[in-house]
Amino acid sequence: ELKVEQNPLFLSMQEGKNYTIYCNYSTTSDRLYWYRQDPGKSLESLFVLLSNGAVKQEGRLMASLDTKARLSTLHITAAVHDLSATYFCAVDGSHTGNQFYFGTGTSLTVIP
Amino acid sequence: EAQVTQNPRYLITVTGKKLTVTCSQNMNHEYMSWYRQDPGLGLRQIYYSMNVEVTDKGDVPEGYKVSRKEKRNFPLILESPSPNQTSLYFCASSLTPSGVQPQHFGDGTRLSIL
């Protein structure tokens, strides 16, 4: 069974600071997705990473994928309050079928 | 507007009373999926469908049924709901299961089984 672990589960950070969320997965996959969920809302796609070494950036968020290490990172630069949300990574089990596996999520709170 | 529509958004019901949560997408997507979200567990896939009449089990299929008779619809059926199925449910769709397009999620259905 493919497992996806995110660290940390909870993150409280001050505005203006940088931090990284980590997503490790247990088996081979070439595709990784990052989603954002605001409280009481649905999931919104942030990034799609399709190959080893892929890097995507949007505003203060940058995501990368290392398929050899089975690791993706979501880096937050100069955090602002609007980034407060829960962030999920998800792995496409393309080598084991067509299932998707989500991490447990990282709840981010940005404090003024 | 491209969207995934779930109904109902909220439902409180009792153990054993059959219920159906509908899901419809207007994007001509091939892949559709159901997830449940529970605190501390993230999202877990219940069932998915690659196309019409093609469905498969995800990680937590026990107690659920699905059907895909039309491309746009993918209802989730709880034949005999139990309290451990109290959860937040999301339907999602994508053009293909693996590709450049991410999944689009519905607004969610909060189910409470008493």
Convert the pLDDT of each residue in A34-63 to its tens digit. 999 999 999 999 999 988 889 999 999 999
> Who wins on pLDDT, A107 or B2?
A107
Any idea what DSSP says for residue A81?
G
What share of chain B in percent tops pLDDT 90?
Answer: 90
Whether residue B50 and residue A50 make contact (CB cut-off 8 A), yes or no, is no
Tell me how far apart the alpha carbons of residues B76 and B53 are, in angstroms, rounded to a whole number. Answer: 14
Whether residue A101 and residue B104 make contact (CB cut-off 8 A), yes or no, is no
What is the arithmetic mean of pLDDT over B109-114? 97
Q: What is the DSSP string of B55-104?
A: EEE-S--TT-EE--SSTTB--EEESS--GGG-EEEEEEEESSSSSSS--E
Instruction: Assign B97 a pLDDT band (cuts: 50, 70, 90).
Output: confident
Strands in A2-70 per DSSP E:
4-7, 10-14, 19-25, 32-37, 43-49, 55-58, 61-66
What is the arithmetic mean of pLDDT over A67-92? 95
In chain B, which residue's Cα lies nearest the Cα of A35? B102
Kindly state the tokens that stand for A75.
């880096």
Whole-number average pLDDT of chain B: 95
Indicate the burial class of B28 (C-beta count within 10 angstroms; 0-12, 13-18, 19 or more).
exposed
Tell me how far apart the alpha carbons of residues A10 and A13 are, in angstroms, rounded to a whole number. Answer: 10
pLDDT score of A95: 64
pLDDT score of A94: 66
Contacts of A6 in chain B (CB under 8 A): 42
Instruction: Assign A96 a pLDDT band (cuts: 50, 70, 90).
Output: low
pLDDT score of A30: 77
Smallest CA–CA distance, residue B47 to chain A, in Å, is 9
pLDDT score of A2: 83
What is the arithmetic mean of pLDDT over A65-84? 96
Q: Phi and psi for B67 in degrees, rounded to 5?
A: -150, 155
pLDDT score of B32: 96
Contacts of B103 in chain A (CB under 8 A): 33, 45, 100
Whether residue B103 and residue A31 make contact (CB cut-off 8 A), yes or no, is no
Tell me how far apart the alpha carbons of residues B14 and B109 are, in angstroms, rounded to a whole number. Answer: 16
What is the arithmetic mean of pLDDT over B1-22? 96
pLDDT score of A106: 97
Whether residue B102 and residue A42 make contact (CB cut-off 8 A), yes or no, is no
Whether residue A100 and residue B48 make contact (CB cut-off 8 A), yes or no, is yes
Point out the least confidently predicted range of A52-56, B94-98, B110-114: B94-98
Whether residue B58 and residue A99 make contact (CB cut-off 8 A), yes or no, is yes
Instruction: Assign A97 a pLDDT band (cuts: 50, 70, 90).
Output: low
pLDDT digits (tens, 9 = 90+) for B60-91: 999 999 999 999 999 999 999 999 999 999 99
In chain B, which residue's Cα lies nearest the Cα of A102? B43
Size of interface A-B (CB pairs under 8 A): 62
CB-based contact, B98 to chain A, within 8 Å: yes
Residues 44..83 of A with a Cβ closer than 8 Å to B: which?
A: 44-45, 48, 50
Kindly state the tokens that stand for B45.
């896939």
pLDDT score of A92: 83
pLDDT at A19 over 70: yes
